[in-house]
Amino acid sequence: MTCDHLVCANCAGRVSDGRCPVCRAHRARLQEQQGPLAWLNPAALLALVAGLLAVAVICRQALA
């Protein structure tokens, strides 16, 4: 989850703007929870799988 679409209950602003201390604290907590694979969306996952399949096919042809 990203904080782009979240609305703060304290100031009614977007959490990504960080207008109040509550927004800034929540934004920091979300950034800590994302981890190293936060960039992995469905399109990136599909590209990764396609790339791995291409490498497997090339390796199989090279060994045959």
**Tens of pLDDT along 13-47?**
888 888 899 888 888 887 777 666 666 778 888 99
Question: Is residue 4, in this structure, part of any structural domain at all?
Answer: no
Nearest to 3 by CA among 64, 37, 19, 18: 18
Structural domain containing residue 21: 15-63
Please state whether the predicted TM-score (pTM) of the whole model is above 0.85. Answer: no
Question: Is residue 29, in this structure, part of any structural domain at all?
Answer: yes
Where residue 58 falls among pLDDT bands split at 50, 70, 90? very high
Question: Is residue 54, in this structure, part of any structural domain at all?
Answer: yes
Q: Which residue has the tokens 């509550």?
A: 22
Q: Residue 2 — left, alpha, or beta (φ > 0 → left; ψ -120 to 50 → alpha)? A: beta
Number of domains in the chain: 1
